[in-house]
Structure 1
């Protein structure tokens, strides 16, 4: 029997289908078996797995009931809403799954504060700006803000990851929201730097060509020491799980850290921006 290879990174719908197949395989069920448990035909199950048919809310809730995922962050219902709203870039939903279990997280961000460090007010204003431009719906904006909060839960889990962050200076030169919102966001960065499992540096414009990245990048070290990277442009995200491709990024990241000012100097720079914004 021919078995179609699935690429979960190609779209949220493909990630949904690949995960459905993976959970089915773990139970050693055929598509007929799963269909019988869910109340669907094997043809319907197959079509969802390979992406020929989009999952429905009813299908997703049935899958959650079969696999015991109701009300969890890994539920198929949650994945269904991500597909329906379509507000997340390709590769990002699966990346979030890796991020949730990572032992080490390394971030480099340009222009905006990364989601793991955003205050709720900052995240809301960013999302609402997309709504005003007509890029996403209010429902999609709510989804984005909710996802930011969910992602931040990984920072306070029982065994939190090491989180290393380098912010391009442009992140600090783009005030978002009213002065009080922006001041609270900058204060959040300083508080983040003081946590026992974090490191924070700012890459100033003066680094020039010594800055190895032009676009945001995230590198995850998993508990088994495997590496995963995620990078995105305005229209596309890319998840990479091949160590031969990720290791050069990790090397460049270490070079970035070596060139950037220390955490103490970076915190002082952030406080200077806070003072300047208050004086304006």
Structure 2
């Protein structure tokens, strides 16, 4: 039988289909047999495996039930649905919603968990104008910002540590009023009992241990997860041998950054229009 070769690196849809086929082959099931177990046709299984049809959340949940994969298919299907997001980020968000501690470092833009709705809308509107994403994908990104912020309001709340590169404050997004509201949001965030906000100044120079955005999570079981990204790629790491050095660099960044009090004072100066 001729079978279509699958390239899991081609897209999230292809990665989902390749994993589905691999687990089915390991159990010796035909597509019709798997379809019977999942409540769909073998033709539907074939379409998902070869990337002709994206998996729905319902399909992914059914696959997790049949294969006993503990929610992995459902998490992977989020990468398929969140087509405007870099690889690894949808799965990162699922961990972030349950993490005990969250550490963020951002460059150039405010992190999503701190964006005001107006800032998020202005940021994505420009991205749509450049043709980088569609209006529908912009709406998806804005909705995800709201979902992430709502998840942080859980009880008990996570500890949230944020280091912002100075560029996050000085890069205008939207109107002056939008930026002022965004800076006010940072001050409010810093006043919360479960948060720490610091600014990494430009003049930190070569003492800066990180140059690209980095997110590090401490999960409830104290295991670590990190997410780092460049302009076109995102990477999720779960292996401690990879995450611990990143966490060390983050702590070094915190040591060199302004204190929270000095950071808030700087933000207030910017709001008053003083350098």
Normalising by structure 2, we get a TM-score of 0.82
Shift of 1:34: 5.1
Cα distance change of structure 1 residues 19 and 124 upon mapping to structure 2, 3 Å threshold: farther
**In 2: Cα distance, 1:142 partner to 1:197 partner:** 29
Alignment partner of 1:124 is 2:125: no
**In 1: Cα distance, 2:171 partner to 2:215 partner:** 21
Match of residue 39 from structure 1: 40
Residue in structure 2 matching 1:53, options 51, 54, 71 = 51
**In 2: Cα distance, 1:224 partner to 1:54 partner:** 38
Shift of 1:168: 0.6
Cα distance change of structure 1 residues 34 and 203 upon mapping to structure 2, 3 Å threshold: same
Match of residue 13 from structure 1: 13
Q: Does structure 2 retain, via aligned residues, the 8 Å contact 1:38–1:62? A: no
Residue in structure 1 matching 2:201, options 172, 193, 204 = 204
Q: Does structure 2 retain, via aligned residues, the 8 Å contact 1:9–1:94? A: no
3-state DSSP of counterpart to 1:101: coil
Normalising by structure 1, we get a TM-score of 0.80
Alignment partner of 1:63 is 2:64: no
TM-superposition CA deviations, 1:125-144 (whole Å, max 9, x none): 11111110111111111001
Q: Which 4+ residue blocks in structure 1 deviate beyond 4 angstroms? A: 6-11, 14-21, 30-34, 64-69, 76-82
Q: Which runs of 5+ in 2 are unaligned?
A: 1-5, 66-70
**In 2: Cα distance, 1:229 partner to 1:8 partner:** 22
Q: Does structure 1 retain, via aligned residues, the 8 Å contact 2:106–2:164? A: yes
Shift of 1:68: 11
3-state DSSP of counterpart to 1:276: coil
Q: Does structure 2 retain, via aligned residues, the 8 Å contact 1:105–1:164? A: yes
Q: Does structure 2 retain, via aligned residues, the 8 Å contact 1:169–1:203? A: yes
Q: Which runs of 5+ in 1 are unaligned?
A: 1-5
Residue in structure 1 matching 2:237, options 216, 235, 240 = 240
Alignment partner of 1:216 is 2:213: yes
Alignment partner of 1:103 is 2:100: yes
Cα distance change of structure 1 residues 232 and 64 upon mapping to structure 2, 3 Å threshold: closer
3-state DSSP of counterpart to 1:177: coil
Alignment partner of 1:227 is 2:224: yes
**In 1: Cα distance, 2:261 partner to 2:8 partner:** 41
State how many pairs are aligned. 261
Cα distance change of structure 1 residues 33 and 187 upon mapping to structure 2, 3 Å threshold: farther
**In 2: Cα distance, 1:182 partner to 1:133 partner:** 21
Shift of 1:86: 2.4
Shift of 1:155: 1.1
3-state DSSP of counterpart to 1:238: strand
Shift of 1:77: 9.6
Cα distance change of structure 1 residues 149 and 20 upon mapping to structure 2, 3 Å threshold: farther
